[in-house]
Amino acid sequence: MRITILSLLLWLVLIDLVRAQTGNSPYDACLLAYVNRDYKQAVVHATEAIRIQPGDSWAFHARSLSLLALGDLDNALADATSAIKKAPPHARLFVGRAWVYYYQHHWKEMLEDANAALDLDSKSPYYLTTRAIALCGLKRFVPALEDIKKAVLLDGTYSRAFALRAYVHAYHLRYKEAVSDYELAIKHDKDNTYAMSRFARLLATCPEGEIRDGLKSLELAKRSCEMTHWEEWGCLSALAAAYAELGMFEKAIEFEEKAQKICSNKTALEIGRSNLNGFREGRAIRENPWGSP
């Protein structure tokens, strides 16, 4: 399993470090490989950096992010924990581990690390949104919305905050508000594949007919698949839903089957199998099990 949909967010965790590096060390090579999406090579370079300097917390951090991108959650978590232990408290290290917990659906642990990051930097919209995601995972939507509100006040163009608020709206069946926030998310970041794929799914599956728009859903889903190199199951599944909404069930089956092959989330696999059965019977999706925030 490769984790690709969050690669740009993980890039935000690394961006200051990349900017600070100008040499030819294994650590520099790791960061360059990561930016170029060569995650296996990034792990090789980070491992060499750790061999040279076993106490280098940032090399552990970089290797953790690379392992996370490859879907190796256990080793990513071990490295993220080592990074935290080997350095003075640093918000980026805590939020790096928080994202490993995200993929493990360990919401309580994610929340603890997000709180630790915010204790060190309370004015970061990125960290506030990270905590809001953990709170959504715990179904604590009221404090999550408070964090999203603070993030938007700090940065009125922060796309991820709008996309997360759209998720909360859709979860509570406030579809018009969800549409508005997804549009804002994409307006502020045309590369936000999370917003694209979630918006595409909403437009393809919403129980309210006035919200559905198969052609727009197809456009968004295709774009999200292209940008994630056709390697992200959520984007492929959204594309399948869009084809089903348009009555193109052979295509819907094709892309849901592709999504199934690369998905490791048990709940998502069960939903996908149910969707496939519907597609084979000529039925589009008319319900919205949103799953993880």
pLDDT for 289: 60
> Are 179 and 198 in contact, with CB atoms under 8 Å apart?
no
- Would the pLDDT of 15 be above 50? no
pLDDT for 292: 78
Q: Could you tell me the pLDDT band of residue 116, with boundaries at 50, 70 and 90? A: very high
Mean of pLDDT over the chain: 91
What Rg value do the Cα atoms of the chain yield, rounded? 19
- Would the pLDDT of 12 be above 70? no
Burial of 19 (0-12, 13-18, 19+ CB in 10 A): exposed
Closest CA to 101 of 135, 147, 139, 134: 134
- Would the pLDDT of 4 be above 70? no
pLDDT for 7: 47
CA separation for the pair 285, 283 (Å, rounded): 7
- Would the pLDDT of 265 be above 90? no
User: In the chain, what are the domains?
Assistant: 1-87 (1.25.40.10), 185-293 (1.25.40.10)
- Would the pLDDT of 1 be above 50? no
Specify the higher pLDDT residue, 1 or 250.
250
Q: How far is CA 290 from CA 93, 97, 136, 205, in A?
A: 29, 24, 11, 11
- Would the pLDDT of 146 be above 60? yes
pLDDT for 23: 61
Mean pLDDT calculated for residue range 234-244: 96
DSSP calls for 55-87: T-HHHHHHHHHHHHHTT-HHHHHHHHHHHHHTS
- Would the pLDDT of 17 be above 80? no
| Cα pseudo-dihedral 85, 89, 91, 95, rounded to 10 | 20
Q: How far is CA 41 from CA 49, 178, 293, in A?
A: 12, 39, 30
249-252 long-range Cβ contacts below 8 angstroms, 24+ apart: 249/279, 249/280, 249/282, 252/279
Secondary structure string (H, E, C) spanning 255-283 = HHHHHHHHCCCHHHHHHHHHHHHHHHCCC
Q: Could you tell me the pLDDT band of residue 3, with boundaries at 50, 70 and 90? A: low
Buried b (16+ CB within 10 A) or exposed e, 78-114: bbbebbbebbeebbbbbbbbbbbbbbeebbebbbbbb
This prediction's pTM: 0.90
Specify the higher pLDDT residue, 161 or 69.
161
Q: Which residue has the tokens 């004015």?
A: 123
> pLDDT (tens digit, 9 = 90+) per residue, 18-68?
444 546 789 989 988 998 889 999 999 999 999 999 999 999 999 999 999
Share of the chain above pLDDT 90, in %: 80
